[in-house]
Amino acid sequence: VTFSSRADQTTGSTADVRAGEQITVRNLLFGLLLPSGNDAAIALAEHCGAVLVQSTSNSVDGYEAFIDKMNATASQLSMQQSKFANPHGLTDPEHKMSAGDLVKLSWEALKHPLMREIVSTRIYGCTVSSVSGYTRNLKWENTNKLLDTQGYLGVKTGTTSAAGACLVSLAERDGQSRICVVLGSGNSAARYADTRNLIRWSWSHSEGNSEVPSSNGLPLGQ
Same domain, yes or no, for 191 and 100?
no
Total domain count, the chain: 2
Last residue of a domain, one of 122, 142, 162: 142
Same domain, yes or no, for 72 and 120?
yes
Flag whether pLDDT at 220 surpasses 90: no
Beta strands in the chain (DSSP E): 21-22, 123-130, 135-141, 152-160, 164-173, 176-185
Last residue of a domain, one of 106, 123, 142: 142
Instruction: Please enumerate, as own/partner, the contacts of 71-77 that have beta carbons within 8 Å and a separation of 24 or more.
Output: 74/101, 74/105, 77/101, 77/104, 77/105, 77/108
Last residue of a domain, one of 142, 171, 201: 142
* pLDDT tens profile 100-129: 999 999 999 999 999 999 999 999 999 999
Q: Which domain holds residue 177?
A: 144-222
Whichever domain contains 108, its CATH number is 3.40.710.10
Same domain, yes or no, for 166 and 132?
no
* pLDDT tens profile 70-85: 999 999 999 999 999 9
